[in-house]
Amino acid sequence: MKEKYKKSRKYLSREINDEELEEELLKASDKFVIDKKEEIKLIDIIRKKLDISSSETISMAVKKFIKNEKLKEIDNPKLFDAAVTIAYLRTILSNHDSQWKSNIEQARKYIKEQINDEDLEDEILEASEKLVKFFYKDST
């Protein structure tokens, strides 16, 4: 178990390449809750890494990858934050999926509660993944 942890930390350090951001990410991952009261949110750290200024910017950017008009009309930045969080964890930190499992499940539950349409849920997640890949590629 200790060896797995060391290997995971080494990978995380290499991927993030920013000691302060890495520590913030680790702290936030333990606290991640889609809740207005939370001081440090995982999405804030992801936005820093992707160089995206705000939740509103994330919403607008994800919508550029969405085809469904009903989904484009949704005005809920937290929904798009949750989708981008899932996409980032699955795409950029995919080798450590088990460490983020509860975060992904929680965000997925929130998306399901907000949209309640499996096809639209899949579309927002696919669009978010495209966004993460686009911005992450540009930030490396």
- What is residue 51's three-state secondary structure? coil
Per-residue confidence (pLDDT) for residue 128, from 0 to 100: 95
Per-residue confidence (pLDDT) for residue 38, from 0 to 100: 44
- What is residue 76's three-state secondary structure? coil
d(Cα 87, Cα 130) in Å, to the nearest integer?
A: 8
Per-residue confidence (pLDDT) for residue 29, from 0 to 100: 59
Per-residue confidence (pLDDT) for residue 91, from 0 to 100: 86
* pLDDT averaged over 10-residue windows placed end to end, the chain, 140 residues: 65 73 64 46 79 82 93 93 90 74 87 94 96 72
